[in-house]
Amino acid sequence: MAATAAVATLLLTSFFFAALHVSSNPDTKPLLSFKATSDASNKLTTWNSTSVDPCTWTGVSCTNNRVSRLVLENLDLRGSFQPLTALTQLRVLSLKRNRLSGPIPDLSNFTALKLLFLSYNELSGDFPASVSSLFRLYRLDLSYNNLSGKIPATVNHLNHLLTLRLEANRFSGSISGLTLPNLQDLNVSANRLTGEIPKSFSTFPITAFAQNPGLCGSPMQSCKGTPNDPTRPGSDGAIASPVMPAANPTVVASSPSSLPGNSALNKSGNPHRSGSAKMSPEALIAIIVGDALVLVLVSLLLYCYFWRNFSAKMRQGKGGSKLLETEKIVYSSSPYSAAQPVFERGRMVFFEAVKRFELEDLLRASAEMLGKGGFGTAYKAVLDDGNVVAVKRLKDAQIGGKTQFEQHMAVLGRLSHPNIVSLRAYYFAREEKLLVYDYMPNGSLFWVLHGNRGPGRTPLDWTTRLKIAAGAARGLACIHDSCGPLKLTHGNIKSTNILLDNTGNARVSDFGLSVFVPPPPSTSSAPRSCGYRAPETLDGRKLTQKSDVYAFGVLLLELLTGKCPSVVDNGGSGGGFGGLVDLPRWVQSVVREEWTVEVFDLELMRYKDIEEEMVGLLQIAMACTAASPDQRPRMSQVVKMIDEIRGLSGSPSHETGFESMSESSALSEDTCGASQ
């Protein structure tokens, strides 16, 4: 009997604490109230008062035990969502494809809201005036409802708004007063709007304004009663011509000379023009002869100048193999020093499955410089047989000797992986060191991410960025795991060293060359100029695999933010050294203020349903850039985490990415040790 009483007491105690926990969460009551009034079909089966934690309910996500994300789509929910307005910490609310009805309730409590999706419901009434108070809002989708009235100018208060979807409603009135400079996604089609489309909206497609018979202006038909402007996109039949219709003499022509007042100016203000008709034939002949003599004299001077330079170059190159820089690669005046005949001439050393050629073939190759880096200059070389390779000429390298160089090249040359730029051959001589790689035709990640940020740019979409991150992670993990416990490092991870092959796969390049770079002076601030350097390496300490992980984390932040970690931040908010953007510190400061969305590249905000993946990759990047090296994950762990975001964790082809290297690339510890 006593035992039964004890059990009953325990049950009552546990029930009391469970009820206390539920009542202690202020978001539980409004959620249950919404279910009671809107879930007639009982789709929200996990929502009940006996459940201890509402953060585990269907569609609910929490931050610090408060509901921050509520996604309830296509659940046949009905009525009003008024009870949900008590969720004051909500950041994402999506109630798409339900049967919610009535006016949109007051949303002013949603001070943290960033994404609001209410499309495909039966909501009615005016545009919600309270929306203008949601100053953190990035996306607003009210499309496919029965909303009516005017779109208020107070929408302009939403300075961060990137998406505005209002199509398929019954909105009326003018939108000419709307000014949303950051807007990237707009659709107001299938309404009853009238008046002129704002000039700032003229870059959106015509489908964004279709089925509004009263709308006019670019990109639709020009408004009646407005003179055609030849400089304005979409104006009908406007022709840029200096000859304007006589019926409109006040219109300024495209040529100043056709202004009505210019005739008087030509008569009095330009005597050369008015007197040219009275010039004598002798004067005209003298002018022509003088011009001809001046032209001959200038041509003669130019000829003498260039002939002297050409002759000097020919004398310097006589008996040697030096070629003109504009046509060929200039490696050196000779592959070996003529002043020291006892020194052995270098030779090309090739690795497996590579078509062999000689140094003279490279010297004859037509080439173009790809860029200069810390390890030397890279060229694209097209051989006589049409084969294309990339050649890196090492410069200012601190190489101990031929044996050490060849041993290290043997290690690098045997690394083979789909996400690594393979070293195919090398050349060593006293005055020259050349490395030959596969040529990557699509350039570097730096160029596709930061190049041509002006009009007409094709943004790097999220799927491609995630694919590049995964490929680069696999390549770096292969480098780290190739020599087992001896821990080979890359030493120079950055976006210019992530190249893209002809299928768009990421390839890690320039690996293993950091051993040839002399350490910077301890008093120099040069190390800080590279935003990829781990904190522990700024004082000259040795590069490690964990410093590679840090650099890779910065690379992920670069993909997420669109910011270059090694450029001056004119805004002054980069939190960097000497005006440089310190991406990890800047991101941490933004996330600390719970403005995580502010971190992401604006070009990514046009893509829908990727927030979770972006936040997931951001968490990986922040783990990689931890201040303490011991707190950073291994690259093999980073590969698995990125694969989980991509939904590829169960794919055998990805699980065995860098473990399935061929035997030729599986390096022994002896081989690896030779390069240490």
Nearest to 317 by CA among 300, 334, 298: 334
User: In the chain, what are the helix, strand and coil shares in percent, each to the nearest 5?
Assistant: 35, 15, 50
Q: How far is CA 56 from the centre of its chain?
A: 34
Distances (CA, A) of 400 to 236, 253, 676: 72, 72, 12
Tell me the residue length of the chain.
676
Q: Please, is 66 exposed, middle or buried when counting C-beta atoms within 10 Å of its C-beta (0-12, 13-18, 19+)? A: middle
Tokens (6 digits) for 351: 């690795």
At residue 612, the 3 state secondary structure works out as: helix
Gap between the Cα atoms of 353 and 547, Å rounded: 33
Structure tokens at 428: 């060593």
C-alpha–C-alpha distance, residues 616 and 645, integer Å? 7
Strands 78-79 and 99-103: parallel
| Residue from 152, 151, 165, 88 nearest 120 by CA | 165
Helix (H, G, I), strand (E, B), or coil: what is residue 131?
Answer: helix
Q: What is the largest CA-CA distance in the chain?
A: 137
One-letter identity of residue 432: E
Please, are residues 166 and 143 in contact by the beta-carbon 8 Å criterion? yes
Rounded to whole angstroms, how far apart are CA atoms 92 and 116? 6
Q: Which residues contact 622 (CB under 8 A, 6 or more apart)?
A: 553, 584, 587, 588, 591
Cβ atoms of 576 and 425 within 8 Å: the answer is no
DSSP β-bridge partners for residue 78: 99
As a whole number of angstroms, the distance between CA 460 and CA 446 comes to 11
Which residue's structure tokens are 């539980």? 28
Please indicate if the annotation marks 392 as binding a ligand: yes
Residues near 589 by Cβ (< 8 Å), separated by ≥ 6?
575
- Helix (H/G/I), strand (E/B), else coil: 627: coil
Residue with tokens 């805004």: 571
Q: What would the two tokens of residue 320 be?
A: 């040697």
Q: What are the angstrom distances between the C-alpha of 97 and each of 244, 398, 430, 607, 619?
A: 55, 65, 72, 19, 31
Which amino acid belongs to residue 54? Answer: P
Residue with tokens 């290290």: 408
Rg (CA), the chain: 34
* DSSP assignments along 18-34, one per residue: HHHHHHHSTTHHHHHHH
Please say whether the beta carbons of 433 and 426 come within 8 A: yes
13 exposed, middle or buried (CB, 10 Å; 0-12, 13-18, 19+)? exposed
Residue 604, phi-psi category: left (phi > 0), alpha (psi -120 to 50), beta (remainder): alpha
Distance CA 398, CA 411 (A): 18
Residue numbering of the annotated binding site for ATP: 392
